[in-house]
Structure 1
Amino acid sequence: EESVSSVDLVPGDCVLIPPEGLLLPCDAVLLAGECVVNESMLTGESIPVMKTPLPASGGRYSLDTHRKHTLFCGTQVIQAKEGCRDGNWALAIVTRTGFFTAKGELISSILYPKPSNFHFDRDITKFLLILGSTIKEVIIQTLDIVTIVVPPALPAAMTTGIIYAQNRLKKQGVFCISPSRINVCGKVSVFCFDKTGTLTEEGLDVWGVMEGSSAGFGSLVRDPRLLPPSPMLTALACCHSATLLEGQLLGDPLDLKMIESTG
């Protein structure tokens, strides 16, 4: 057993995960012990997940099949337990490192996005082929095209237009790593985003509390700490699934804000 730098890890190495957790530098599969892991960096889900040891079934390891036994690079192990070394450390074996990890693949997809074949681009090609004309007109126009050279300034003009559009977006705080998407965005009328944090800031804030009754809602109380002893205050302070671990509250962000708002 020895301590080594994370850059020296290779697939097949066995690593010990301390009880207080760590930021994983590689993908690994859990062999012994249990780990509570924050995978929000990869999945966007803020609720920690429990990782269990790989079952001794004798079958071949598969990432898709054994995700609940896999620790991913870049995720934060919050707590490890019931493994080896007096039952306090978890044991895992390295499966992937560097750009081959889940985090590495995510970074690669951002740096080198795969080309996309948009319906808009296909329509452009069809339009250039037929130009909305009859077969006779298409044949005549095709013969004309043979003797007519495409304006050499057209590609340069299109590129210049995209560059100007990219600079205008940059001034508005919008950075585009794939300029070809700018033309496609000109055809977008509706854009749906999946969760908080994509466009809005991370986290939640308590705006106030309005206590309800059979007669309706009461007045707004900006600071929940000013609430008198009541079922509302008890619910805010007690009705949650948060856990105190090493002096730090863990759990659903909404539950955490409810507790913090009560002081």
Structure 2
Amino acid sequence: MSVPVSRGNTPLPEEKTLHLPRILCLHGGGVTGEVFRAQARSLIKYLPDFRLVFADGPFFCNPGPGIVPVYQDYGPFRRWLRWLPEHPEIDDEAAIEEVMYAIETCKREDEGDGPWVGLMGFSQGAKLSSSLLYDQQIRREKEGKADTDYKFGVLLAGRSPLVSFCDYSRSPACVNPGAVSEGFHYEGESPHILRIPTIHVHGLADPGLHLHRKMLNQYHDPKATTVIEWDGAHRVPIKRTDVEIITNEIYKVAREQGVDV
């Protein structure tokens, strides 16, 4: 689903956003694209030169932490990956197919025609965003091409590890797509390092902060990362003072990567 962007306080009509560069937005576990859109309302407001498109994860699940009661009527809730043992088992290839089908369906059904320039994810969606960027990178390295051309990622509270989406990234450092990701630990230096630019947004009161920093330090090239820390818990920032710092950096990184905004 896409959302109207705004200039100042006035939303642009939907038809005015069709040609803008597009950012694919991936929600957290136990949420939906519609809920993420509501959570990201302030980010949307301060990104008027992008078309933000929100995808729905392929698997149903119970609502995530903090979703009820505010968003209790927005179900059924969804996830991209297994993070609890009670989530139904699935083999790796089927997990990959389901995730990719959900993403490609969302992209195909969007009415915009601007280039897909970035990924923005929250929590599990941030883990997925980083993993998809790495998959793009390693396929280009090994095969000389990839199906996507994302220029950057915005990772809101994304915790380690990366998820392997092809044989090139199957290793002890990455979790398999059909496995339970919660509780996964890899110590030491990861051989899988993302060099596509990423913006990492960390809430200093987030109980998972140590895992977000582990993701940053273990799987991302420091030369290609920007870290923004804010005084908040496990949620998407909404205050103007926090959001403007994030969106200003998105514009900066996008322009450095040749995006016309």
TM-score where L is the length of structure 1: 0.19
- Higher-Rg structure is 1
TM-score where L is the length of structure 2: 0.19
Q: Name the structure, 1 or 2, with higher relative contact order (CA <8 Å, separation 6+).
A: 2
